Chain A
Amino acid sequence: MTVSLTLDGVSASYGKTRVLEDLSLEVGAGELVSLLGASGCGKTTTLRLVAGFLAPDAGRIRLGDRDLTRLPAHARDIGLVFQTYALFPHLTVLDNVGFGLKQRGLGRAARRAKAGEMVERVGLSGFADRYPANLSGGQRQRVALARALVIDPPLLMFDEPLSNLDAKLRVDMRVEIRRLQRANGTTALYVTHDQEEAFSISDRVAIMDRGRIMQLDAPEVLYSRPANAFVADFVGFDTLLPMRAVAEAGDAVRVRMEGGATLDLPRSDWTVPAQDFLFAARADGLLVAREGAGIPARLGLRTYLGRAYQYRCETPAGELIANGPLSQPMEPGETAVLIPNPEQCCLLPAET
């Protein structure tokens, strides 16, 4: 049975500091949603509220048709994987995995059988009688995962589960997590500060800042069509230029940027959202060329990226970063134009 998780107008505070402001979120049945953001953005608080380790000041938390808001943590039936793994150091791997089953009143034999099966499923067959202290980081992570999965919870939650592993293992484990979550069809909430991790395993990602969700969308949408400057900056648009539409120029809109330079954006490629707006681009989205319709620039330091050259460029609007083709290396000091590629740039409404 898969159910959805609903947070409805949840607010929370530590003492006088508000950490969550009227947050609403729905994780669909069988869906994996990540909460992504820098530390202090409220993602872990959200998870702890759902787990029942914190109580909200306002709002409701529902899992399917069960209202969790006032339920104590131990009655919520949620599988949770901790950043620190939180394995019980005094119990063997098998007993760690069996802990939740014991709380559910399973007899010793049934418990050992079921826990043993799960230990096998996460690939730790030979380690059932070991203590956590004698396991590697990756093995501990698997035990934590097995322990959360074996109780067959309607909701799985992960609190930065991979941040204590090395890079290679991190990639393997996230694939493993996604595989197991898919196989069980369990609804899941995943907290991380690692963008690549969140994008790679989630159905949808919520990018959070200062206790609010800035955008909740599929990774592809977030990556290419951020809804605001915060998200654009977060997903790596390193050029964010304020611009103003000043005139019509045939089939194009003429816009002026800071420093006075103007640029014509053809209507067929661009939709200007308002008179004042933000132009957002990654280095890949600004092509360095000798001539064309673009932002005039004087080239500075050139670095080699493997697939392209990257240039620091002096422009009337300040220093911008842009890429140029390997076939036409240009030297520092040359003048050039930076041509925006409509596929890889966004025009965002200006922030008020």
Chain B
Amino acid sequence: MRRRIHPALVGFAALVFLFLLGPLVIILGASLSNTTYLAFPPEGLTLRWFENAFEISAFRRTMVTSFSLATLGTLLSLAIGIPAAYAMARYRWHLPRFLGNVFVLPVLVPEIVLGFALMKSVATGLDTPIYTTLLVGHALLVLPYCVRVVGASLAQFDFSVEEAAVSLGCPRWRAFFTVVLPNIRGGVIAAFVLAFITSLNDVSISIFLTGPGVSTLPIQLLAHMEQFFDPTIASVSVLLMFVTVVVMALVERTLGLTFLAR
């Protein structure tokens, strides 16, 4: 009994989704092909390219680097981003309004420019260790997500609940951890997930900050592609997509997928 959408539009949308998902299916197929070149549909099925991905030490090393970088960078960013978001939500009128814009600068400035500037001024200028510079760069990159998403959660929070806890004898700092934090859990999880994925997939900043001995998985993939063009790349790509699936499932379990729509 609902009104229908024009079938031509539905057909068009179907093609768009084919366009969006097709290439990812092709990568999945190519990663399983029992050929030394990238073939789709796969010719014979094998998992040896996945084995190969773990046998190549550069991939193994950069996987570890990328995951630790994404985890530590995100945690660092949350550790300083949550207090900032809290201060802006709770004490709006004590802080200048432009502060909110300062925290989103890292997404306004082109990533590639940020990467170059960090390389020039920090990595080379201060001669900091590669991993440290990467960590700072990634924490900075994801700070806007942390402040914004946690901030959106805090905007929904009724601070009189916190005041109630304090009036019942709970110290301020403890009220934050026992009353505020559990109520903005959804925002914190969402911020973590978005930040983690962004950091894990980052190219534009990392391309300037990686160096001898320390690289990230996407950068290693780029380097590998320039020399070899075999299904190993496809298998590593599938592993990265798998991480995305896990993350989405995590979000679905904790917040519901409708959260992603917002």
Contacts and interface: CB of A to CB of B under 8 A. Distances in A.
Q: In the complex, A touching B, CB below 8 Å?
A: yes
A57 to B, nearest CB: 8
A27 to B, nearest CB: 23
B86 to A, nearest CB: 32
A54 B2 CA distance: 6
Contacts of A57: 1
B168 to A, nearest CB: 37
A11 to B, nearest CB: 11
Contacts of A53: 3
Interface range on chain B: under 10, 10 to 19, 20 to 34, or 35 or more?
Answer: under 10
A14 B2 CA distance: 8
Interface in A12-42: 12-14
A54 B1 CA distance: 6
Contacts of B3: 53
Nearest to A14: B1
Interface in A219-253: none
Contacts of A12: 1
A-side binding surface: helix, strand, loop or mixed?
loop
Interface residues of A, number: 7
Interface in B1-47: 1, 3
A119 B1 CA distance: 36
Nearest to A53: B3
Nearest to B2: A54
A177 interface: no
Interface in A110-128: none
Contacts of B1: 12-14, 54-55, 57
Interface string A55-67: 1010000000000
Contacts of A54: 1
A32 to B, nearest CB: 28
Interface string B83-118: 000000000000000000000000000000000000
B1 to A, nearest CB: 5
A106 B1 CA distance: 33
B2 to A, nearest CB: 8
A57 B1 CA distance: 8
A71 to B, nearest CB: 14
A57 B3 CA distance: 14
A98 to B, nearest CB: 26
A47 to B, nearest CB: 14
Nearest to A72: B3
Nearest to A45: B1
Contacts of A14: 1
A13 B2 CA distance: 10
B155 to A, nearest CB: 21
A292 B1 CA distance: 60
A187 B146 CA distance: 58
A26 B3 CA distance: 26
B208 to A, nearest CB: 45
By Cβ-Cβ distance, the 7 closest A-B pairs, closest first, are: A54-B1, A55-B1, A14-B1, A12-B1, A13-B1, A53-B3, A57-B1
Interface of B: 1, 3
7 contacts: A12-B1, A13-B1, A14-B1, A53-B3, A54-B1, A55-B1, A57-B1
